[in-house]
Structure 1
Amino acid sequence: MDFPSELKYTKDHEWIKASGDEAYIGITAFAQQELGDIVYVEIDKIGAEVAAEEVFGTIEAVKTVSDLFMPVAAIVIEMNKKLDANPELINTDPYGDGWIIKVKLTDLTQLDSLLWDTEYKTLIGL
């Protein structure tokens, strides 16, 4: 399983890739493997400011539906439109074309509280 070292991770299995005050967010390879085949993603916070650890949407797999949690405080500015027709991109490319939302960060210091790849691997027992 791949966990890119340039990303930060959460205990809830989301990843974030920040550049300046914008960032992309998705779920980890571990999370998508645990969920199984992704069939639908719903984001109901476009344009809204979402606090760290608050739910920003849901992800539906064949057998379950899971909440998506915001890694840090941010304003949701975009959802990955490719997921409308191809939600399975999350399974095949969770760190690339399978990103879920793009955000504007409202508190950059919160990034410091997230996990590095090595810490995340320890969390999931790798």
Structure 2
Amino acid sequence: MLARYQIVRGHRREDDPLPEGKRYDTRKHTHHVLRTTPEIVEEFLSDPSQAGFKRFRAAYYAVLDRRFAEQREHFDALAREARQGDVFLGCNCPTARQPDVRHCHTWLALEYLARKYPDLNVRFDAR
């Protein structure tokens, strides 16, 4: 199973425990294949409108397409791992600056991976 989770600073609320399974930090400062770039995040946060989100989504999908072509083995390994157990993609979203979890790169990554690997059990949670 593949899903997302929120990385929080400080202590998590008791009613929001960390998910059980393998958790990957996919934020922009990591080296994860699903990370976004700082430039497209800053551009989106400077214009969080629907039009800004559409530009962000297109730019992020272009990043993923390029990485998929160049580093397919990392995507395949993640899909294999998600077929064998629970895997979670982490980000800080939702945040005050970006409150809609459906506009988070992890949500977009789940959509992307669901298209690339239709046999994956991908779960979307709008919390």
Which is richer in strand?
1
- Quick one: higher RCO (CA 8 Å, sep 6+), 1 or 2? 2
TM-score, normalising length: structure 1: 0.27
TM-score, normalising length: structure 2: 0.27
Rg (Cα) greater in structure: 2
Which is richer in helix?
2
